[in-house]
Structure 1
């Protein structure tokens, strides 16, 4: 009886596909990332020849990847810190420069205010018409020497050629011969009053000139109706004769001590 014998043969084991191998490698990398331990990834004949041996990180390339990644992160962090430090320094410098500019502007403004105030005070100041002098004939003194019967101003003692000054700031409205006043100057003051300087030997200003307190306007003398050199000084409410007011009270009201 014929017997049938089953043909036997070897069963071939198929190699894992490339996709499967890649998946296994990725799984191994993930394991390394989470545990820091590299497991056997069926990396080929070498692994098969040495079962249980853990591949060196240098062989897998994973350590290099991790080191490069850490180094890059540190570099990025260092660059970010440097940029932030530079930004902080720039911000501090800008703040300091702005503060310095503000202080400089405040100092400049304060100096301007002080200068304006000093100029205002200077222009509003009054001085005696002759320095280091005294009144030799008072206001209102009576006598035949004056056509009105009384003295319409005051006489300041002054030898011929003594500097005569404007008592305050104003504008010259008359400069020349004034009859019995001889050579005289009349100035309209800033407050609207007028001052007159008579018997001058020389005149140093012209009509229309602006004068400051203490400005030299001429030299004392004895021109006109006079018995000797001196300065005749009047304060008036108008430029005309007869509008005189007490010149001593006028000067004292502007801070001049006589």
Structure 2
């Protein structure tokens, strides 16, 4: 026959029930940490030491990281300063290069300009010392010392250059006009004292383009050809002399040729 256990508030718990309660209490204490509190001092000290070591390590790591950040910032600043200094140095070098190139270009231009000026002066000097024919593209139609009744001396004291009336007549070289006007048998004539001390004469002109005392240069137009004075037709009578006076004539063709003129 089976017996049922009596129930009620005054009933004493059985041994099995008490044992189970004890076990449950120990578990609860363990879970709440009481057992940990009641542990041996060595364990507590060990735990504290471990916690301290962890804090120290955290501080050490933090300091190292900050140092690294500072060092990196300093390196970046130094690199930026070096880059800026390098850029400035390059800019100065480029400016110096450009300045030197400009100086050389200006010196070259000056040298070339001076060379051109010297060449121009030399060309002008040569031109002023050169001689030319009195009528461009003409030829001698009557030679020097040709005889005949046309000339009072019995011979031709100069040469005649073929030229239609109004043809330009040029000074054969540099000199100063010492006569410009009517010259009797020479008609309208011009006499020029050349820079080498000789004299040249241009006769039978239809018009005069210079005055006494005027300086002339080689090839400068001084008048127009014609047939004034003792003349049989338009032409230019040209003489070369050692003095301004009649009778000091020299061979005009030889005179021109001695100065490089091809006649």
Calculate the TM-score normalised by the size of structure 1: 0.75
Alignment partner for residue 199 of structure 1, among 201, 204, 210? 204
Determine if the alignment matches structure 1 residue 242 to structure 2 residue 247. yes
Alignment partner for residue 80 of structure 1, among 69, 78, 85? 85
What residue number does 1:152 align with?
157
Q: Secondary structure at the match of 1:113?
A: helix
Determine if the alignment matches structure 1 residue 218 to structure 2 residue 211. no
Q: Does the 8 Å CA contact 1:202/1:219 hold for their aligned counterparts? A: yes
Q: Could you list the runs of 5+ residues in structure 1 that have no partner in the other structure? A: 1-45
Distance 1:63 1:163 in 2: 100
Q: Does the 8 Å CA contact 1:166/1:215 hold for their aligned counterparts? A: yes
Alignment partner for residue 93 of structure 1, among 93, 98, 109? 98
Give how far 1:159 is off. 2.5
Distance 2:52 2:97 in 1: 61
Q: Does the 8 Å CA contact 1:172/1:207 hold for their aligned counterparts? A: yes
Q: What do you get for the CA RMSD once the two structures are aligned?
A: 2.2
Alignment partner for residue 67 of structure 2, among 62, 68, 78? 62
Distance 2:149 2:54 in 1: 150
Distance 2:251 2:211 in 1: 26
Q: Does the 8 Å CA contact 1:47/1:53 hold for their aligned counterparts? A: no
Higher percent of residues as helix: 2
Distance 1:142 1:68 in 2: 115
Distance 1:51 1:213 in 2: 110
Q: Could you list the runs of 5+ residues in structure 2 that have no partner in the other structure? A: 1-50
Larger radius of gyration: 2
How do 1:109-148 and structure 2 match up within 5 A? 109-148=114-153
